[in-house]
Amino acid sequence: MIKAALIAGARPNFIKIAALEKAFSDSGQFLNTLIHTGQHYDAKMSDIFFRQLGMPEPELFLGIGSGSHAAQTAAVMVETEKVFLANRPDVVVVVGDVNSTVATALTAKKMCIPVAHVEAGLRSFDPGMPEEINRIVTDAISDLLYVSEPSGLMHLKNEGVPDHKVVFAGNVMIDSLRRFEDKARATNYSESIGLNAGRYFLITAHRPAMVDNDVHLGTFARSLLGLAEMGDVVFPIHPRTSKRLESIGLAASLASNPRIRLTEPIGYLEFMNLMMHSGLIVTDSGGIQEESTALSVPCATVRPNTERPVTIEEGTNVLMNLDVGEITAAGEKALSGNWKKGRIPALWDGKAANRIAEHLANTLSTL
């Protein structure tokens, strides 16, 4: 059996690791150790995903918590090193682009433990995005790079990564979506809270470039007021954003609009139900760009760039400037049924994690 350490720290990691944990277990070739760094720790940012995605409790919870980039990254390195010294895995599997990802990859690589990076090769080419640094560093030191969309193959080739390290495996986040889609539909969540299918806007925002800047966050809030003139607006608020909206006094003014519903972060199944029935998703999330494409739901990504270009080239995603007129025009277009239709990208078929399990089991001994 292969001893695999599966690392998860933040909300999007849990959804990806759930798919890998299942595929590795199903393959019968791995002994999984699920390690939660504790980067995200609120029940609604963490525990609920383990419950809803049918994952076992993490074997180890490192309790890292919040902090500056250096403090958080360093703390994950110190704690994962202790774990790997106590029980050395045969391979460390990291997903995505959060601080827990790069920190654990660095620890493992310096201990000469093979590292597999799932969702490798994505690039926004925006060095101001902390995730971009995490992606570049993680890919540079990983032994196996599992890619979710064709742009990833191209970037890794351009960066000189040898072909034998790179595998186009598909998208593990979409594995979880396909696995839980029926369950999410059956929650009837959007209907149960009185929303009309196809007529409301679903909002998320948490990128520092958007929410840590008073002017940007103010413009975003005004865009929501514009959308509220056309339909209900549902905004489950990330804790980073919630603190910022409170501190600049915008939470109260948004909440006073009867068509805007501000909520805490919500569970995966309920959130997927909100996505599948929404008229338009307005977001700066990475994963939601992919999920909206997989669900064929219109998505306006309020960012100057994306590391997930397949969602634009083939899917339902469109990049937007942070501009009230542009965002409200997107709302009008989506509600009038004129949004582009899109198609499902290659290998977003619910089986990416199985391909990774099979490849990893066959390849590890050759590293």
Catalytically active residues are: 206
Work out whether 266 is an interface residue with ligand UDP (CB under 6 A): yes
Among ligand UD1, ligand UDP, none, what does residue 236 contact (CB within 5–8 Å per kind)?
Answer: ligand UDP
**Partner in contact with 266, chosen from ligand UD1, ligand UDP, none, beta carbon below 5 to 8 Å by kind:** ligand UDP
Q: Are strands 60-61 and 115-120 parallel, antiparallel or unpaired?
A: unpaired
| CA dihedral sign of residues 134, 137, 143, 145 | positive
Q: Binding partner of residue 319 among ligand UDP, ligand UD1, none, CB under 5 to 8 Å per kind?
A: none
Q: What minimum distance in Å lies between the beta carbon of 267 and ligand UDP?
A: 6
Please report, as residue ranges, which positions from 1 to 40 form the binding site for ligand UDP (by CB under 6 A): 11-12, 15
Which ranges of the chain does DSSP label H, i.e. alpha helix? Answer: 11-27, 47-52, 69-86, 99-110, 130-141, 150-158, 172-186, 189-192, 208-211, 214-228, 239-247, 250-255, 268-277, 287-295, 310-313, 324-335, 352-363
Q: Which DSSP state fits 43?
A: G
Q: Are 212 and 244 in contact (CB under 8 A)?
A: yes
In the complex, minimum distance from the CB of residue 206 to ligand UDP, in angstroms, rounded to a whole number: 6
User: Given the complex with ligand UDP, which of 84 and 271 has the nearer CB atom?
Assistant: 271
- 308 close to 149: Cβ distance less than 8 angstroms: yes
Cβ contact 267:52 at 8 Å: yes
Are 23 and 354 contacting, i.e. CB atoms less than 8 angstroms apart?
yes
Binding site residues, ligand UD1, CB under 6 A: 10-12, 39-42, 45, 66, 97-99, 130-131, 206, 238-240, 243, 286
Q: Is residue 133 near ligand UDP by the rule CB under 6 A?
A: no
Q: Does residue 220 touch ligand UDP according to CB under 6 A?
A: no
* Site for ligand UDP contains 193 (CB under 6 A): no
Amino acid in position 320: M
At its nearest, how many Å lie between ligand UD1 and the CB of residue 264? 11
- Interaction between residue 308 and ligand UDP (CB under 6 A): no
State the residues that interact with ligand UDP by CB under 6 A.
11-12, 15, 204, 206, 236, 265-266, 268, 271, 285-288, 291
